[in-house]
Amino acid sequence: MSETLPAEGLLGWSWLLIALPLAGAAVLLLGGRRTDRWGHLLGTATVVASFVVGLLCTFQLAGLDEKSVSVDLFTFISSGDLDIRAGLLYDPLSAAFVLLITGVGSLIHIYSIGYMAHDDGRRRFFAYLNLFVAAMLLLVLGNSFVALYVGWEGVGLASYLLIAFWYTRPAAATAAKKAFIMNRVGDVGLALAIFLMFAQLGTTDYAGVFGEIGTVAGGTVTAIGLLLLLGACGKSGQFPLQAWLPDAMEGPTPVSALIHAATMVTAGVYLIARCSPIYDETPTARTVVLAVGALTLLIGAIAGCAYDDIKKVLAYSTVSQIGYMFLAVGLGPAGYVAGLAHLYAHGFFKAGLFLGAGSVMHAMNDQVDMRRYGGLWKKMPITFATFGLGYLALIGIWPLAGAFTKDAIIEAALDRHDTFGYLLAGIAVLGAGLTAFYMTRLMLMTFFGRPRWEDGVHPHESPVVMTLPMIVLAVGSVASGFLLVSAFPLSDWMAPVFGEPEEAAHVIAPATVLLIVTVVSLLGIALAWLFVGRREIPVTAPVRVSPVTRAARNALYADTVNESLFMRPGQWLTRALVFVDNRGVDGAVNGLAATLGGSSSRLGRAQTGFVRSYALGMLGGAVLVAGALLAVTAG
């Protein structure tokens, strides 16, 4: 990694990136109903301003010889040997995430102006969006693991508030709690990793940790890598902590676009990529990252094939696509840039797909069941066109984004030149075929076939404030892959972080990989047409289905496994501890208190207040003392 220089010029003001949306959230939350009329405009303006600042900072960074700038802010913690300065790190990796978060975030804010126009809590919604963007920016800009952790927890809080935005709906409240709890499981891993770093190295700064990680025992480095992976799995919805992400679709659709496309779920990928010096020292942890990515890739793709809820299909697609990114960054130097390129392209086409889904729901009275859609391409031409481009980009049809970024991951897996690499590449190709199947199924059920609308539904195109962001994201879906891989290679921009890219000896020529993936994707499209396009789609989902379909509808029983292995044993343990506490600890304390209370009460009864009773007691005592003295004398 390059030397970190102190900030100069505009980069010294890069803290504005976080301060602007954070100030917007504070004004909207503290201002109350007085800000209802213009709160959405303020919330949008702060994120757009943050995007402009990010662009200017990135341009300045590009003009520097050393592509790593540190911004020292203030002392965060100073206690004994623990001295943590609050500061920011602006380098190619953080700059790319800043532009993605603020750029896509700005489009989603603009879209939300129209989508949430008739919601009474619109001002509160924009406050939560601003809070989320501010926390995410702190996560990617912090120059230490402590700063990252503060942003990490801020993202968790904001996502809880956004998922539970319609908290009067039991499903939304339950989904928010599920997301919060499962993320806390991952956060324990991240916290323990930070504790280990400080215990072994005496610092939590990136520069200190990455510079000295080579001096730490191999087993400890592996433990740190696995704990970091646990944190990444929780935030990015990877196995075994993926079950919360599809349920989080209970929040408003712009939340799905912001959290599950471009920002929160990519935090885990950012963490693994940022910690590349750690994973370069532990092949074991890196192998586990590969296994988690490959397994999650398949789980998400299989589950996406069976759901009828348009947002949940896209959610499982996100689970699968993040799996691709984990697989890529687990490949090491050859895969870091490929995974990040797919992450950035995914930010465009998946955000566009979610916003397109929101446009469809907006036109269909918030209906999410695709079985009650059909024939919408005539009624919603702009939504259909932008959604269609996102669909083609996602399934990897050349020359759209996915064809460049997804194929780069498969090439990196093949370039391992070993059986495991070939297996990973095969899984990635299979995932591409499944992606083509479930996304074609979604397109056919939503936009084609006969209308299956409910009475009283009158589909119509969304207003321009919603369609304009969709158009911009569609353009990104078309061009981002070519720009990031061919025109302006991301590998050159990321060289100061991951090192200069090495020329790989390809097992299979890139053109051949493109041909294979395209053929598999076309096969997935053909199967979807055979099973869905050529048949009448029933309004009610069939009950008699194959065991595979039943398992896919239940997300491969992920919730059942979590409930059986963790939730119910946890409930039983809690009940047992409560019983021991009530009957054991509290019982002993209460029993002792009752004994002392009863004894004092009984002794109190002897205090009658009669002189004769006290005289008799004195006489008895004197007799006992005299008897004792006589016994001693006689002895």
Q: What's the average pLDDT block by block, 10 residues per block, for the chain (635 residues)? A: 65 91 95 90 96 94 88 83 85 94 94 91 94 95 94 93 92 92 92 94 91 91 95 91 88 86 85 94 94 94 91 93 94 89 93 94 90 90 95 93 92 90 95 95 92 84 93 94 89 89 81 94 95 84 82 80 76 84 83 82 72 80 86 76
Query: Which residues are CB-contacts of 418 (< 8 A; sequence separation ≥ 6)?
Result: none
Report the amino acid identity of residue 47.
V
Q: Residue 283: beta bridge partners?
A: none
Query: Closest Cα to residue 273, out of 321, 234, 226, 325?
Result: 325
Query: Closest Cα to residue 386, out of 443, 314, 446, 470?
Result: 470
Cβ atoms 253, 355 nearer than 8 A: yes
Cβ atoms 135, 382 nearer than 8 A: no
Cβ atoms 369, 316 nearer than 8 A: no
pLDDT at 557: 81
Upstream peptide bond of 381 is cis (omega within 30 degrees of 0) = no
CA atoms within a 13 Å half-sphere pointing along the CA-CB vector of 482: 10
Gyration radius of the chain over CA positions: 31
CA distance 112 to 462: 12
pLDDT at 3: 60
pLDDT at 473: 95
376, two tokens: 């919408």
Cβ atoms 162, 129 nearer than 8 A: yes
Phi, psi of 243 (to 5 degrees): -70, -20
pLDDT at 467: 94
Cβ atoms 375, 443 nearer than 8 A: no
* The pairing of beta strand 69-79 with beta strand 5-6: parallel
Upstream peptide bond of 399 is cis (omega within 30 degrees of 0) = yes
CA distance 368 to 375: 15
- Tell me which H or E stretch contains 84: strand 82-90
CA of residue 612 relative to chain centroid, distance? 82
pLDDT at 613: 75
pLDDT at 7: 66
CB atoms within 10 A of CB 465: 14
Phi, psi of 172 (to 5 degrees): -70, -45
The pTM score is 0.89
CA distance 413 to 318: 21
